[in-house]
Chains A and B, each alone.
Chain A
Amino acid sequence: MALDQLSIVFGALADPIRREILARLTEGEATVAELAAPFTVSQPAISRHLKVLERAGLVSRTRRATARLSHLEAEPLRDATAWLATYREYWEESYERLDALLAALQHEETDRSHTVDPQERSTS
């Protein structure tokens, strides 16, 4: 995915209400009224959020009878997660190695405090 498109996707994801809407849509398609129900914001406000998600390619909308249904489009999210992965991997791998090192250092310190240092023994 182009960086510009990623920016649009991440811009759309930056809002907590829009993230809640996407989370709701993972359970299946929904009308604006259904999507607005958990929130204190108005239906027109939810519609505006849906337009932002639609522009980012995260949501598609179809009309059934009088209702407009929103569907989740997962492809841009898959691209976004791929884009997320490597930086996290770099640091998570580093920090896992650091965890092991810290554990080893603490182990050494414990050992030292339990055994008598040869130098100490000679002077005591």
Chain B
Amino acid sequence: MTEMKITAEPGVPQILGTREFDAPRELLFRAFTEPDLLVQWLGPRKYKMTIDRYEVRDGGTWRYVHADDAGNEFGFHGVFHGTPLPERMVQTFEFEGAPGNVQMDTATFTDEGGKTMLHMNSVFQSVEARDAMLQSGMEEGMNEGFDRLDELLAKLVANS
């Protein structure tokens, strides 16, 4: 299994990510599209995920909520664009805490003989919107990486 790679170039409102999975593509597609499977993995364990709707079809809408133990709830919703296929899924993504800030996610699944490579492409309305999401959106979290940057940073920090 390869480590997740994340790329966020300066000045480009986009985040790219890749991650390999030790499972056939059809199975990965099921994990991404069947609600009872999706709730078992999407998001950190500390959140309980509830799916309101998940209409896996062209123009279908989805909405889910992540709730923590303190009772905080974070809602997300979006729309599927084009028929979701094991090769490629396109959808919009909006955190309900920041309405009108929409990202477009394209997930591409490459069959690698029993294993599957996931390529994620998230496009934002602006670099500022991307950085804001990286900084505080989606309940938490941010990241900016470049090719080999993580390794370099780890090395630099370890050596300092």
Select from chain B the residue with minimum beta-carbon distance to A11.
B10
- Tell me if A7 is interfacial: C-beta within 8 Å of chain B: yes
In-complex Cβ contact of A23 among B6, B150, B155 (8 A): B155
A10 & B152 in contact (Cβ 8 Å cutoff): no
B109 to chain A, nearest CB (A): 12
Select from chain A the residue with minimum beta-carbon distance to B32.
A98
Mask for A6-18, Cβ within 8 A of B = 1, else 0? 1100110110100
A105 & B19 in contact (Cβ 8 Å cutoff): no
- Tell me if A72 is interfacial: C-beta within 8 Å of chain B: yes
Count the B residues whose beta carbon is within 8 Å of the partner chain — how many?
46
B139 to chain A, nearest CB (A): 8
Interface residues on A, range: 35 or more
Query: Which residues of B in the span 137-160 have a Cβ within 8 Å of any Cβ on A?
Result: 138-150, 152-157, 159-160
Complex Cα–Cα for A106 and B26 (A): 11
Query: Which residues of A in the span 1-52 have a Cβ within 8 Å of any Cβ on B?
Result: 3, 6-7, 10-11, 13-14, 16, 19, 22-23, 26-27
B74 to chain A, nearest CB (A): 12
In-complex Cβ contact of B142 among A87, A95, A103 (8 A): A87
A87 & B152 in contact (Cβ 8 Å cutoff): no
Select from chain B the residue with minimum beta-carbon distance to A74.
B160
Query: Which residues of A in the span 54-104 have a Cβ within 8 Å of any Cβ on B?
Result: 72, 74, 77-78, 80-81, 83-95, 97-103
Main secondary structure, interface of B, reads loop
Asked if A93 meets B45 with Cβ closer than 8 Å, knowing A10-B144, A78-B160, the reply is: yes
Main secondary structure, interface of A, reads helix
B159 & A26 in contact (Cβ 8 Å cutoff): yes
Asked if A88 meets B6 with Cβ closer than 8 Å, knowing A98-B21, A101-B41, A105-B30, the reply is: yes
B112 to chain A, nearest CB (A): 14
Residues of A within 8 A of B4 (CB): 88, 91-92, 95
In-complex Cβ contact of A19 among B1, B6, B148, B157 (8 A): B148
Complex Cα–Cα for A98 and B4 (A): 13
Q: B-side interface residues toward A, CB under 8 Å?
A: 1, 4, 6, 9-11, 17, 19, 21-23, 27-28, 30-31, 37, 40-45, 131, 134-135, 138-150, 152-157, 159-160
Q: List 27 A-B contacts (CB under 8 A).
A: A19-B146, A19-B152, A23-B152, A23-B155, A80-B144, A81-B154, A83-B134, A83-B135, A83-B142, A83-B143, A83-B144, A84-B143, A84-B144, A87-B134, A90-B43, A90-B141, A91-B6, A93-B44, A98-B21, A98-B31, A98-B41, A99-B22, A101-B40, A102-B22, A102-B28, A105-B30, A105-B31
